Amino acid sequence: MTRRRRYLIVDGHSIIFAWPELRKLHQRRTALARDALAKQLRDYQDWTGVRVILVFDGRGPKVTAEADPHDIQVFYSSKGQTADAVIERLAGKYAGEFQLTVATSDLMERQTVTSFGAVSISPEMLRELLTEAIPRGRDALRKRSGRSGQGSLYRSRFDLPGSLLAGSENS
């Protein structure tokens, strides 16, 4: 059996408002909370090799995406569209091809993505996933290099086939 590539799709604002430390940052400035969540997810991606997609509600005329070659993929929904809609489209389109896990506190969204074949996890389960992955990654790096665990085991570029962004806008 072929091993399917793994992706973690995160409902950004859902997680920010579910985690007290991020909610507190959000009260000061939204960008601080977004950046803090993105950093944790980037570390997770680096240590595990699981590609991460972070989705936020947006304000622009179309769905936008941001990523550099070594970063997580960040989507902002278009004005009048929710992050939930983008996540559901991604799950509907790619759950059969890839191993998708969706992190959100929205129960309706969790049911929807599960119906497409994705796995859904709560914000608390995401926190556990992140907490467990980083120490395991550091231990693996120490064993391989004999060093203190500084650096990255894995750097990836978001590479779902075709234009995912175009599929999100038109679906």
Q: What is the pLDDT of residues 41-50, one digit of tens each?
A: 999 999 899 9
Average pLDDT over residues 54-59: 90
Average pLDDT over residues 90-97: 95
Report if residue 53 sits inside a domain: yes
Report if residue 1 sits inside a domain: no
> What's the CA gap between 142 and 113, in Å, rounded?
37
The model's pTM = 0.78
Average pLDDT over residues 25-44: 94
> What's the CA gap between 79 and 58, in Å, rounded?
6
Report if residue 14 sits inside a domain: yes
Q: Is 89 exposed, middle or buried (0-12, 13-18, 19+ CB in 10 A)?
A: buried
Report if residue 88 sits inside a domain: yes
- pLDDT band at 22, cuts 50/70/90? very high
Helix (H) / strand (E) containing 169 = helix 164-170
Report if residue 41 sits inside a domain: yes
- Side-by-side strand order, sheet with 6-11: 64-66, 73-76, 51-56, 6-11, 99-103, 119-121
